[in-house]
């Protein structure tokens, strides 16, 4: 039987290749996603491994402070810690974000997202993560060293006077080039400028403070032991971690940040695999029925049903193993493709040696082989039920399940799916809601897929109604003659298109909602940020802008972390209420911007409820640096895009060490020309090369273009699933053409031209693709609308972009044309004589 | 319609068809000269492998000769390219095969008008009505092939072959898959088509009684015409076949 199975595989190489292709594509996507995310994680692991290489214990603040950065600790802790028995070396360090070197050609050297650091130089060799590769370390004020990658890119030479923007643009003498411990040229795409410790502290506004103190243990003292001893001398809010723990914590933080990307990629990859399961199922169903006579013959000569079934399953097993193995390695290509893709969308991904972990191997092989086996199980079972007597019959059809039963099953699934989606509106919490929506969506797709067989005939008739010519009519009839086959083929395409259209509705609604919110809450004319870096910057910028005569109100926004009485981590915004208040309307229900002074906080209505505070009450807020504070609730507002808590800048300065803005907003002065005001702001921020100013329209355009980018990215990622579906159409049609050889030969014999034959197959392809497309658009738009409706704030403006949906339908038709090319060519090449000689 | 059969509807001159090369070479046609008169019903007989189907395919423009020439009316098929031969098959030739003559997705009526649909022309409704009536298919037109009996299917095929008024209808064992009375019905219709409408018919058959419906029988053997008979009857054909097969070893 094994021989029979293997011969079955080799009998039709074209079919084999096409079926294998769908598995290969799906598995390559899975494997590529794993490879990429493992490689990114590994890169950051290495970075932090190097950063903490010689450090046994790290002393730092327990909580984050301003703008999501660690809150500094007082420098006075250093002598106290040094005095602990077992401490061999100790060094305090400081750092600052948003430090931009100006290249030799005068242009700022900025990154697309990676942070731009300033670090203090650590004298102690063991505790210093950097190695000098050229020149010398910074020793006096005004000297800096720079990382090797930046050094090369900026076109510097050691000894140059270079300009670096920290709090403002300043000149420094470049004395050295450094490399990261492990020989890495930079920190995963970030830039690093190294200053002397006092200078770094001054630039960062951290006089008398450190980000952290790193310790090396004496010989014979373990890191764990030392961390306990050091912890004993630390004040509350400051912690001592082993180097390894600190490294792990930072690596985990990054991993947490990239996890959504990883899960997203894997989600798209599994969709692709799901689609290929449809294709495998269809291919095996068709070939089993095509070989039904052969199987009946096997039964007639004494093979048991089990043996027949096993022969099909062995065929699937071999196919699954081979295709998964190819897909596994093709994943390497996919990983670098995805990396390039993210680069194209403005997210450069740093990389170390490609991580091809055993987990990737196992998942790819098990998933690919498993899905092939599962998808071929039903066809195999059907094969085993071909009665031996069928060998003697004319028309041999492998027994199939009843289409009505399937349609009913599909209908029940679809109703259950809609029930689940409805249920999500009654649920609370992101987890259960997403689960209900996700499972509902999957169930709906499968349900509609199962019902599709019943929809094929009416839909094909409707779509093909305008077709007059013989090719079109025959194509339409052919699309309907095997409803089950066409249904599964169409369903595979439906899945891809449903997700594309759901994403379209969701992203377009998101940007429409943003636009609405901006209009309602946010009349500011101009917005100043660091663009993609989303880094904090010096308040000097806001001051410079405020000095411009044509500029009116200038609002500053800072973020900070704190803990509520329940210990939950929350964030607040520090704003200059007098001016910021002119630019942002959070719809106050009690009080107003004027009431926001030092010692007070304003809270959103929702949070006031959950914290159990009202106007005039005291809210207990714990800060990393300032400890427990009681702030009076001065105002309550309905809703703000920025968050739920606001304090004045005075209050912010009391509670956080670092004073940097994250966004600055501005209005044109009354009577000032809009362009003139913007030009003035641009001039004012020229000393801060990583800053950019946008007017409200540009800002909206950017949000729109960002959401388009996200949509574009989703399209590209779903293209895999759609590509697999296209292969499915190719495969099904090629098999159908093969099956209809005799009939096509007859048509050719009685005078049908090859061109007409091609068109006939093309039409069939386009009709099946359009059925998949229409079902996908309907289901997808429904899912998208449900998602938006369920999400609620801030997703409040539903936008159904008809032009994009129409374009998607055209795309589906084009997919049909593309898929039809090969089978149509095959059909037109059928040898007429041989075809009609077939009995 | 006249039954006068003067001009030739189809003609083969020194037709040679060779398949394969070297040891595997098969001379399916080995110098066939034959003429098939207009408005006549000719049967081709001969043992299996004697080249009957090959001759018919070459005459119908389905296949090309290795050497020699075939004419359909005045048209030299050997000079036509595939495209022109396709058009010729569509417009000038009708076919009836042994089985699977019909497109399963189309109704009987649609199958009958298929040559017109392929050509993008309107069928001649009156002529179609005549043919359908003659074949007794009137109440079956809306049915799909799977809902028709074998005999009905062959009659639909015959209607399709004739509906475009081709110069010649080629039938390769049209009754091969039918029982004898159903076969006789079909043959009777073919006979009438020749007699009443002047249709030229060329039919390959193994069945002497089928050959009995023809005006003339041509016997093939090893790719050559070995004999022929005018106004055959089933008995005479049977006799002739016996003598031919007796003499066959010597003739080879
Ligand atoms: N495509 C082909 N390749 C090789 N040889 C062929 C091919 N087609 C036919 N032949 C050979 O040519 C010879 C004539 O075949 P043909 O089909 O014309 O015979 P036939 O008289 O129609 O026989 P039958 O009564 O069995 O239908 C046979 O020997 C056959 O094997
Ligand atoms: Mg034959």
Portion 118-177 of B in contact with A at CB < 8 A: 118-120, 160
Supply the mean pLDDT for chain B.
88
The model's confidence at residue A739, banded by pLDDT at 50, 70 and 90, is confident
pLDDT at residue B251, as a whole number: 40
Point out the residue among B62, B93, B117 whose CB comes nearest to the CB of A833.
B62
Helix (H) or strand (E) holding B120: none
Point out the residue among B62, B94, B120 whose CB comes nearest to the CB of A832.
B62
For residue B172, report the distance from its CA to the centre of ligand 2, in Å: 7
Is the pLDDT assigned to residue A765 strictly greater than 90?
A: yes
Ligand 1 binding residues, C-beta < 6 A: B 19-20, 26, 28, 46, 48-54
The model's confidence at residue B45, banded by pLDDT at 50, 70 and 90, is very high
pLDDT digits (tens, 9 = 90+) for A202-247: 888 888 888 888 888 888 878 888 888 888 888 888 888 888 888 8
The residues near A486 (Cβ < 8 Å, ≥ 6 apart) are A453, A456, A460, A479, A480, A732, A768, A771
The residues near A4 (Cβ < 8 Å, ≥ 6 apart) are A298, A311
Shortest Cα distance, chain A CAs vs residue B8, angstroms = 22
| CB pair distance less than 8 Å for B90 and A751 | yes
Under a CB-based contact definition with an 8 Å cutoff, are residues A664 and A528 in contact? yes
Give, as one character, the DSSP assignment of residue A533. G
The model's confidence at residue A640, banded by pLDDT at 50, 70 and 90, is confident
Give percent of chain A with pLDDT exceeding 90. Answer: 23
pLDDT digits (tens, 9 = 90+) for A142-182: 999 998 888 888 888 888 898 888 877 888 999 999 887 66
Ligand 1 closest atom vs CA B54: 18
Positive or negative, the Cα torsion across A298, A300, A303, A309?
Answer: positive
pLDDT digits (tens, 9 = 90+) for B117-175: 888 888 889 989 988 988 888 888 999 988 898 889 999 999 999 898 899 999 999 99
CA distances A433 to A278, A443, A583, A707, Å, are 28, 15, 35, 23
Point out the residue among A481, A756, A837 whose CB comes nearest to the CB of B105.
A481
A461–B contact, CB cutoff 8 A:
no
Kindly state whether residue B145 falls inside one of the protein's structural domains: yes
Give, as one character, the DSSP assignment of residue A140. S
pLDDT at residue A299, as a whole number: 79
Kindly state whether residue B46 falls inside one of the protein's structural domains: yes
Residue nearest to atom 13 of ligand 1 (CA): B28
The residue ranges of DSSP E strands in A45-151, in sequence order, are 57-61, 73-74, 87-93, 95-97, 100-102, 116-120, 130-135, 143-147
Point out the residue among A752, A754, A837 whose CB comes nearest to the CB of B118.
A752
Tokens 């003598």, residue located: B243
Within a 10 A sphere around the Cβ of B224, how many other Cβ atoms?
17
Helix (H) or strand (E) holding B39: none
Under a CB-based contact definition with an 8 Å cutoff, are residues B231 and B199 in contact? no
Shortest Cα distance, chain B CAs vs residue A836, angstroms = 8
Of A354, A348, A424, which Cα lies nearest the Cα of A42?
A354
The helix/strand/coil state of A536 is coil
The model's confidence at residue A533, banded by pLDDT at 50, 70 and 90, is low
User: Could you give the number of structural domains in chain B?
Assistant: 1
Is the pLDDT assigned to residue B249 strictly greater than 80?
A: no
pLDDT digits (tens, 9 = 90+) for A387-437: 777 665 555 455 555 667 778 888 899 999 999 888 888 877 777 888 888
Of A346 and A363, the one with more pLDDT: A363
Shortest Cα distance, chain A CAs vs residue B58, angstroms = 10
Kindly state whether residue B52 falls inside one of the protein's structural domains: yes
Is the pLDDT assigned to residue A603 strictly greater than 90?
A: yes
Instruction: Name the least confident of A96-105, A157-166, A299-308, B236-245.
Output: A299-308
pLDDT at residue A12, as a whole number: 65
Here the tokens at position A832 are 């007429």
Kindly state whether residue B252 falls inside one of the protein's structural domains: no
Kindly state whether residue B165 falls inside one of the protein's structural domains: yes
| CB pair distance less than 8 Å for B89 and A743 | no
| CB pair distance less than 8 Å for A836 and B89 | no
The helix/strand/coil state of B112 is helix
β-pair partners for B10? B36, B72
The model's confidence at residue A5, banded by pLDDT at 50, 70 and 90, is low
CA distances A88 to A55, A93, A180, A210, A247, Å, are 11, 17, 23, 19, 20
Q: Which residues of chain B lie closer than 8 angstroms to A749, CB-CB?
A: 62, 89, 95, 97
pLDDT at residue B3, as a whole number: 40
Here the tokens at position B36 are 């098939």
Is the pLDDT assigned to residue A140 strictly greater than 60?
A: yes
Percent composition of chain B: helix, strand, coil (DSSP 3-state, to 5)? 40, 25, 35
Kindly state whether residue B241 falls inside one of the protein's structural domains: yes
Shortest Cα distance, chain A CAs vs residue B121, angstroms = 10
pLDDT at residue B252, as a whole number: 35
Global pTM reads: 0.80
Mutation target vs B (from A464, A471, A485, A750; most B CBs, 10 A cutoff): A750
The model's confidence at residue A349, banded by pLDDT at 50, 70 and 90, is low
Here the tokens at position A485 are 């086959």
Q: Which residues of chain B lie closer than 8 angstroms to A478, CB-CB?
A: 105
Mutation target vs B (from A397, A464, A749; most B CBs, 10 A cutoff): A749
Of A202 and A1, the one with more pLDDT: A202
**Domain holding B199: CATH number?**
3.40.50.300
Within a 10 A sphere around the Cβ of A670, how many other Cβ atoms?
7
Is the pLDDT assigned to residue B198 strictly greater than 70?
A: yes
Supply the mean pLDDT for chain A.
85
Give percent of chain B with pLDDT exceeding 90. Answer: 46
pLDDT at residue A402, as a whole number: 66
Residue of chain A whose alpha carbon sits nearest to that of B56: A833
Q: What's the whole-number mean pLDDT along residues B42-54?
A: 92
Of A201, A137, A212, which Cα lies nearest the Cα of A166?
A201
Cis amide linkage into residue A483, ω under 30° from 0: no
pLDDT at residue B42, as a whole number: 94
Is the pLDDT assigned to residue A822 strictly greater than 80?
A: yes
Q: Spell out which residues have Cβ within 5 A of ligand 2, the ion.
A: B 53
pLDDT digits (tens, 9 = 90+) for A298-315: 777 777 888 888 888 888
Of A499 and B246, the one with more pLDDT: A499
Shortest Cα distance, chain A CAs vs residue B191, angstroms = 22
Shortest Cα distance, chain A CAs vs residue B23, angstroms = 22
Q: Which residues of chain B lie closer than 8 angstroms to A833, CB-CB?
A: 57, 62-63
Point out the residue among A750, A754, A756 whose CB comes nearest to the CB of B89.
A750
B244–A contact, CB cutoff 8 A:
no
Looking at mean pLDDT, say which of A194-203, A208-217, A715-724, A761-770 comes out highest: A761-770
Kindly state whether residue B1 falls inside one of the protein's structural domains: no
Q: Which residues of chain A lie closer than 8 angstroms to B119, CB-CB?
A: 751
Of A137, A141, A103, A105, which Cα lies nearest the Cα of A121?
A137
Residue nearest to atom 6 of ligand 1 (CA): B19
Within a 10 A sphere around the Cβ of A393, how many other Cβ atoms?
12
pLDDT digits (tens, 9 = 90+) for A473-529: 999 999 988 888 899 899 999 999 998 999 889 888 888 888 887 777 777 888 898
State the complex-level ipTM: 0.86
The model's confidence at residue B5, banded by pLDDT at 50, 70 and 90, is very low
For residue A10, report the distance from its CA to the centre of ligand 1, in Å: 29
Instruction: Name the least confident of A368-377, A665-674, A815-824.
Output: A665-674
B19–A contact, CB cutoff 8 A:
no
Here the tokens at position A307 are 């043996």
Q: Which residues of chain A lie closer than 8 angstroms to B86, CB-CB?
A: 748, 751-754
DSSP codes of every residue in A468-507: -SHHHHHHHHHHHHSHHHHHHHHHHHHHHHHHHHHHHHHH
d(CA A437, CA A414): 13
Could you list the residue range(s) of the whole structural domain that residue B231 is in? 8-246
| CB pair distance less than 8 Å for B57 and A748 | no
Give, as one character, the DSSP assignment of residue B47. S
Q: What's the whole-number mean pLDDT along residues A258-265?
A: 82
Looking at mean pLDDT, say which of A11-25, A243-257, A305-319 comes out highest: A305-319
Q: What's the whole-number mean pLDDT along residues A688-710?
A: 83
Give percent of chain A with pLDDT exceeding 70. Answer: 94
pLDDT at residue B2, as a whole number: 39
Residue nearest to atom 31 of ligand 1 (CA): B49
The residues near A205 (Cβ < 8 Å, ≥ 6 apart) are A167, A657, A658, A659
Of A264, A249, A319, A344, which Cα lies nearest the Cα of A51?
A249
Of A510, A561, A551, A549, which Cα lies nearest the Cα of A528?
A551
Within a 10 A sphere around the Cβ of A171, how many other Cβ atoms?
10
pLDDT at residue A350, as a whole number: 62
- From B28, B97, B172, the mutation candidate for ligand 1 (largest count of ligand atoms within 8 A of CB) is B28
pLDDT at residue A767, as a whole number: 95
The model's confidence at residue A744, banded by pLDDT at 50, 70 and 90, is very high
Of B185 and A112, the one with more pLDDT: B185
Kindly state whether residue B251 falls inside one of the protein's structural domains: no
Residue nearest to atom 3 of ligand 1 (CA): B19
Q: What's the whole-number mean pLDDT along residues A603-607?
A: 90
Q: What's the whole-number mean pLDDT along residues A553-573?
A: 89
Is the pLDDT assigned to residue A197 strictly greater than 70?
A: yes
CA distances A542 to A117, A557, B168, Å, are 21, 10, 95
| CB pair distance less than 8 Å for A470 and B101 | no
- From B50, B171, B203, B252, the mutation candidate for ligand 1 (largest count of ligand atoms within 8 A of CB) is B50
pLDDT digits (tens, 9 = 90+) for B100-113: 788 888 899 999 99
Q: Give me the helix-helix angle, A223-232 and A243-290, nearest 10°.
A: 130
The residues near A616 (Cβ < 8 Å, ≥ 6 apart) are A632, A633
Ligand 1 closest atom vs CA B52: 21
For residue B48, report the distance from its CA to the centre of ligand 2, in Å: 7
How many whole angstroms from its chain centre is CA B55?
Answer: 10
Of A533, A514, A530, which Cα lies nearest the Cα of A522?
A514
d(CA A125, CA A131): 9
């Amino acid at each position: 039987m094994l021989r029979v199975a293997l011969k079955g595989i080799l009998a039709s190489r074209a079919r084999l290749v096409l079926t294998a292709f769908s598995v290969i594509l799906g598995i390559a996507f899975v494997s590529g996603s794993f490879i990429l995310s493992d490689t990114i994680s590994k890169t950051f692991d290495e970075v932090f491994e190097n950063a903490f290489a010689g450090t046994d214990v790290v002393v730092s603040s327990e909580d984050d402070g301003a703008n999501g950065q660690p809150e500094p600790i007082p420098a006075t802790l250093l002598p106290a810690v040094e005095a602990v028995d077992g401490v061999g070396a100790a060094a305090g360090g400081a750092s600052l974000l948003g430090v931009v070197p100006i290249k030799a050609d005068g242009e700022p050297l900025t990154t697309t997202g990676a942070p731009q650091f300033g670090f203090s130089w650590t004298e102690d060799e063991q505790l210093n993560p950097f190695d000098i590769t050229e020149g010398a370390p910074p020793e006096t004020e005004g000297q800096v060293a720079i990382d090797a990658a930046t050094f090369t890119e900026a076109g510097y030479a050691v000894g140059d006077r270079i300009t670096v923007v920290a709090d403002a643009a300043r000149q420094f003498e470049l004395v050295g080039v450094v490399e990261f411990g492990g020989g890495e040229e930079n920190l995963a795409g970030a830039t690093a400028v190294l200053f002397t410790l006092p200078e770094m502290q001054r630039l960062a506004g951290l006089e008398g403070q450190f980000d952290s103190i790193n310790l090396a243990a004496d010989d014979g003292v373990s890191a764990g032991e030392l961390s306990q001893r050091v912890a004993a001398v630390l004040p509350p809010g400051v912690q001592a971690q082993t180097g390894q723990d600190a490294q792990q914590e930072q690596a985990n933080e990054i991993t947490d940040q990239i996890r959504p990307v990883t899960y997203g990629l894997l989600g798209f990859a599994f969709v692709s695999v799901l689609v290929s399961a449809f294709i495998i199922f269809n291919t095996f169903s068709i070939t089993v029925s095509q070989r039904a006579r052969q199987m009946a013959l096997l039964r007639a000569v004494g093979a048991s049903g089990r043996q027949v079934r096993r022969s099909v399953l062995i065929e699937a097993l071999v196919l699954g193993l081979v295709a998964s193995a190819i897909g596994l390695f093709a994943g390497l290509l996919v990983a670098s493709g995805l990396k390039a893709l993210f680069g194209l969308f403005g997210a450069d991904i740093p990389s170390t040696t490609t991580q091809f972990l055993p987990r990737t191997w196992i998942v790819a092989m098990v998933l690919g082989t498993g899905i092939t086996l599962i998808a071929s199980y039903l066809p195999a079972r059907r094969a085993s039920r071909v009665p031996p007597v069928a060998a003697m019959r004319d028309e041999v059809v492998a027994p199939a399940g009843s289409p009505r039963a399937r349609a009913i099953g599909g209908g029940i699934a679809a109703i259950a799916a809609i029930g689940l989606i409805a249920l999500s509106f009654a649920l609370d919490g992101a987890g259960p809601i997403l689960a209900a929506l996700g499972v509902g969506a999957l169930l709906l797709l499968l349900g509609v897929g199962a019902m599709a067989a019943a929809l094929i005939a009416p839909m094909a008739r409707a779509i093909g109604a305008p077709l007059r010519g013989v090719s079109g009519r025959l194509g339409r009839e052919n699309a309907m003659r095997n409803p089950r086959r066409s249904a599964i083929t169409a369903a595979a395409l439906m899945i891809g298109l449903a997700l594309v259209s759901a994403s379209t509705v969701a992203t377009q609604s998101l940007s429409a909602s943003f636009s609405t919110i901006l209009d309602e809450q946010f009349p500011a004319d101009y917005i100043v940020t660091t663009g993609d870096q989303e880094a904090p910057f010096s308040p000097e910028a806001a001051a410079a802008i405020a000095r411009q005569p044509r500029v009116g109100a200038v609002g500053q926004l800072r973020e900070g972390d704190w803990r509520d009485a329940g210990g939950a981590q929350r964030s607040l915004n520090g704003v200059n209420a007098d001016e910021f208040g002119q630019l942002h309307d959070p719809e106050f229900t009690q009080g107003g911007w004027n009431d926001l002074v030092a010692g007070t906080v304003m809270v959103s209505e929702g949070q006031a409820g959950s914290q159990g505070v009202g106007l005039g009450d005291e809210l207990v807020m714990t800060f990393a640096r300032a400890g427990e504070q009681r702030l009076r609730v001065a105002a309550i507002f309905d809703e703000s895009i920025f968050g739920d808590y606001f304090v004045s800048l005075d209050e912010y300065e009391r509670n956080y060490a670092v004073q940097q803005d994250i966004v600055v907003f501005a209005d044109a002065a009354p009577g000032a020309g809009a362009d003139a005001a913007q030009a003035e702001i641009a001039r004012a921020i020229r000393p801060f090369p990583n800053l950019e100013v946008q007017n409200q329209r540009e800002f909206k355009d950017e949000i729109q273009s960002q959401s388009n980018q996200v949509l574009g990215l989703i399209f590209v990622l779903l293209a895999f699933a759609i590509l697999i579906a296209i292969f499915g159409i190719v495969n099904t049609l090629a098999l159908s053409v093969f099956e209809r050889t005799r009939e096509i030969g007859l048509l050719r014999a009685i005078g049908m031209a090859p061109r007409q034959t091609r068109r006939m197959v093309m039409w069939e392809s386009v009709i099946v693709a359009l059925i998949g497309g229409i079902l996908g658009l309907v289901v997808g738009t429904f899912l998208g609308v449900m998602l938006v409706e369920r999400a609620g704030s801030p997703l409040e403006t539903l936008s159904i972009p008809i032009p994009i949906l129409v374009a998607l339908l055209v795309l589906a038709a084009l997919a049909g044309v593309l898929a039809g090319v090969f089978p149509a060519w095959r059909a037109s090449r059928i040898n007429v004589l041989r075809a009609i000689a077939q009995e | 319609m006249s039954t006068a059969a003067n001009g030739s509807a189809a003609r083969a001159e020194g037709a040679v068809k060779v398949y394969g090369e070297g040891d595997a070479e098969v001379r399916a046609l080995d110098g066939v000269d034959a003429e098939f008169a207009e408005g006549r019903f000719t049967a081709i007989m001969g043992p299996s492998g004697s080249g009957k189907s090959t001759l018919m395919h070459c005459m119908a423009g389905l296949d090309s000769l290795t050497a020699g020439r075939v004419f359909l009316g005045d048209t030299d098929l050997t000079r036509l390219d595939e495209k022109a031969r396709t058009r010729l098959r569509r417009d000038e030739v009708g076919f009836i095969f042994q089985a699977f003559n019909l497109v399963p997705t189309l109704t009987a009526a649609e199958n009958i008008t298929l040559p017109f649909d392929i050509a993008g022309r309107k069928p001649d409704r009156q002529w179609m009505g005549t043919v359908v009536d003659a074949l007794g298919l009137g109440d079956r037109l809306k049915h799909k092939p799977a809902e028709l009996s074998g005999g009905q299917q062959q009659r639909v095929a015959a209607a399709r072959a004739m509906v475009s008024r081709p110069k010649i209808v080629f039938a390769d064992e049209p009754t091969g898959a039918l029982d004898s009375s159903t076969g006789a019905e079909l043959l009777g219709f073919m006979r009438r088509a020749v007699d009443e409408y002047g249709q030229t018919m060329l039919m390959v058959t193994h069945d002497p009684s089928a050959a009995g419906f023809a005006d003339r029988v041509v016997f093939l053997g090893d790719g050559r015409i070995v004999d022929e008979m005018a106004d055959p009857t089933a008995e005479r054909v049977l006799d002739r076949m016996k003598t031919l097969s007796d003499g066959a070893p010597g003739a080879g």
